[in-house]
Amino acid sequence: MTRLLFLGAGDIGKAMISRLTETGMAGKIEISVCDPYFNNTDIQTTSEITAIYPTLEAAQLNGAYDVIVIAIAPELFGKLAHLMKLVTTRQSLVISVMPGINVETLRHNHAYSVVRAMPNIGAKSGHSATGCYAGPYVTEAGRAIATRLLQTIGSVYWVKEESHLHAVTAISGCGPAYFFAFTEALAKAGISLGLPDDLALDLAIDTLHSASASLHADRSPARLRDEVTTPRGVTAAALKLFGEENNLETLVRRATKAANDRSTDLE
């Protein structure tokens, strides 16, 4: 049985634990958690969790682990890096979902191999788009384990360059927040046009769902946009403003560049 330790089980860690349970994979894995503030809100069942430890020193009492998922804030890793040796062997695979912290820093001269993964909050419902990078000592078996674990939370894409993870973070890691912000803005716009608050929010949310469903069926956003846009019609009047002086594209490019740069700063 694979022994799996979550170092940090907040939103992302708990989403992964829930999906391992829901997909039946948890039955083949012994799951432990190391998190001094672990709480079971947002998690369907804790019955699949064998043990919860407040520190890595306590977690080592259970021996070493085959896989360690690091899902803590990146700023915390520096304080814990030297303790990773307590819970790993040279056969261990470390999967980090922290932005910025690179493979070399993650290895901290320890012998384990490292996969970096950048999921998104869609993990909660099994709809994450996760970008991954395999460090230098990751075996085919290690890659396969990481793929199987991460596929429980959604789609998995491997990148060849570690530096591409900054862009992955800026596009898909943070991406759900952009669509949430747009949905909020659309609802507020509906209110300003006279709709009741609840109706404006319901319409904005259901429209995001319908656009997402259309994109699943036909992965061509430009073609779908054309389909909605009757020549000289109503949509065209709105899209003209998105397009003027490249407004929307420029804004999205600047915003994702800021996210990319922030991720680079964390290195």
Site residues (vs ligand NAI, CB under 6 A): 7-13, 34-37, 71-74, 76, 97-99, 118-121, 173
Quick one: which of 42, 61, 132 has its CA closest to 50? 61
Site residue total, ligand A1CAB (CB under 6 A): 4
Phi-psi category of 224—alpha, beta or left, where left has phi over 0 and alpha has psi -120 to 50?
A: alpha
Q: In terms of CB distance, is 72 or 187 closer to ligand NAI?
A: 72
In this structure, are residues 153 and 15 in contact, taking their beta carbons and an 8 Å threshold?
Answer: yes
251 binds, among ligand NAI, ligand A1CAB, none (CB under 5 to 8 A by kind): none
Looking at residues 72 to 131 of the shown chain, list those that interact with ligand A1CAB (rule: CB under 6 A). 99
Smallest separation (angstroms) from ligand NAI to the CB of 228: 29
CA distance 141 to 159: 17
In this structure, are residues 41 and 10 in contact, taking their beta carbons and an 8 Å threshold?
Answer: no
97 binds, among ligand A1CAB, ligand NAI, none (CB under 5 to 8 A by kind): ligand NAI
Smallest separation (angstroms) from ligand A1CAB to the CB of 111: 28
Q: In terms of CB distance, is 92 or 169 closer to ligand A1CAB?
A: 169
Q: Cβ–Cβ contacts within 10 Å for residue 96, how many?
A: 26
136 binds, among ligand NAI, ligand A1CAB, none (CB under 5 to 8 A by kind): none
Q: In terms of CB distance, is 27 or 36 closer to ligand NAI?
A: 36
Residue type, 11: D
Residue type, 96: S
Two tokens, residue 252: 């999205």
Start-to-end CA span in the chain (Å): 34
* Residue 169 contacts ligand A1CAB per CB under 6 A: yes
CA distance 13 to 98: 11
Smallest separation (angstroms) from ligand A1CAB to the CB of 164: 15
Q: In terms of CB distance, is 113 or 169 closer to ligand A1CAB?
A: 169
Phi-psi category of 197—alpha, beta or left, where left has phi over 0 and alpha has psi -120 to 50?
A: alpha
Residues in contact with ligand A1CAB by the rule CB under 6 A = 99, 169, 173-174
